Structure 1
Amino acid sequence: MPNPARRVRSAWNTVAALLILAVLLFPVYWMADTALQPDAGTAAVHFLPRDLSLRNFRTALDTQGGSLLTSLAVSLGAVLVCLALAAPAAHALAQFRLRGSRSMVFATLITQMVPGIVIANALYSAYAELGLVNSYLGLILADASLGLPFSIVLLRAFMVSIPREVIEAALVDGANRFTAFVRVVLPMSRNALITAGLFTFLFAWSDFMFALTLNTTDDVKPITLGIYQFVGAHVSDWGAVMATAVLSALPAAVLLVVAQRYIAAGIAGGSVK
């Protein structure tokens, strides 16, 4: 028979968890509620939506659809660049007996402590000379740097657990180190790669500092910069503003739900040496 005290404690824990979840999700609910109500203002929104309308979402897509596609292209490009650099670097730090490898990992973590505005200002000076300001490539490279340190550390922690005997067996069978890396190490690191790629996507999708600093025109305008400008131009139309915010949050939410099991496996796998 279950202990009554334990059942009561479990029930209270469940209630507390639901209350915390409700508090955390309330801003999201209010955002969606405002977006679904036509002619909604911040002080005139009903707690339960009455006259539902998708007009605000049509306005958001008409005005910010291009920015959403720009963010998608930049974020996916940043993921590809980040993983292409992070995976070989992590493999070298994990499998090769490099002198000072621990110091390299520590230095990689330190780079994440540098304020973003400092990096953005330095990049703007370099980009101005290289002609990368107001370009997709420039923003992709900048956003890839946001997830690169995290990806290297995460992938290295996972690749350390890969037995050397597996790689050596591939070498004995005639594969070179690059082939062993591509056909053995990367497939075994799938969960960690998905986790690193997802976090890099989220970093790039939510980036505002680089988008604002490295773009002086509207040629390359991610959704974060689009919302910033949209609020300034339509501060009285909060329904359209909230609809834009809902649309900008959907890709990240969908990716987190779809890749949840890979994230758990990737982080858990990297925690065991």
Structure 2
Amino acid sequence: MRKWVSMIVLGICLLFPNFAAAQGQITIRRLDISLWPEYDRADMLVIYHALVNAPSFPVQMDFRIPATATLHTIAIGETLETVTDQGLEYTTRSEGDWFVLTANVAGPAIQLEYYDPQLIKEGSTRTFSYEWTGDYAVEDMTVIFQVPFNATQFTSTLPLQDDGVHLDKMQYYFSKVGAVPAGESFSFQLSYEKNTNALSASRLEVQPVAPVDENTPGRVSLNNTLPYFIGGLGVVMILGGFIYYWQAGRFPSKRPRRRSHSRDESETGDTEHYCPQCGTRAKAGDRFCRTCGARLRHQEG
């Protein structure tokens, strides 16, 4: 019986020598496992960021997640900042308690996310157990924990190091695991207290825009420009006044002077008339004497 098994294995290796060699030479030089409990679902969000060593790309790789988990995304790229799920080909199959995803990996950077419903809630106490059963050797593994909003007494069977509050205002811890040989399982537990079912994503606040002040890049301060503006306006007014008076001196006014004629002049220019009755001097246009009322002679005839 052993002879037949050995012959079958030898035959597979002879038929697929490149595949067998590639699988043996693939290693994960860096693996970050992020656990975000109750982030945008009531489950545990598990995120893998991996950098792979392989003889060449593309290459086929297997990834195991719990059979009860829900795959969210898998993305491949040259760097972790440029991974994409566009055009990615993969197949899936079930193996007992595990769900195996086989992907055609075209680059060394991999991001895989899934939701694990095995976050146990008993009153205000939350507990979770994680297990890694990788098919590849890991040279450097780090586990990163995000603490949910309003959670207290966050503990783990791994030694935790404080990573502080990040820009998303969430508290983080991490634990350096180091090397994990191929085929060797690795597991740990975590627990915390939380009195509400509110998700962390719903509590994230929009970052306020920085207030605009005198030091804001690109902003022009009125306090700095107002003196220059007033000074420039004064110079323009002085130049305008100088030009006006200079032009007025060069071109004197040539408007004709109107000659005024007084009524006395017009009256003295006419023939004087006197009343024939009382001798009072009449004014131009009078038909009767202004004193005695007698009819003036120049109107007669």
**Range class of TM-score, shorter chain:** under 0.3
* RCO higher in structure (CA 8 A, sep ≥6): 1
- Normalised by the length of structure 2, the TM-score is 0.16
Higher helix fraction (1 or 2): 1
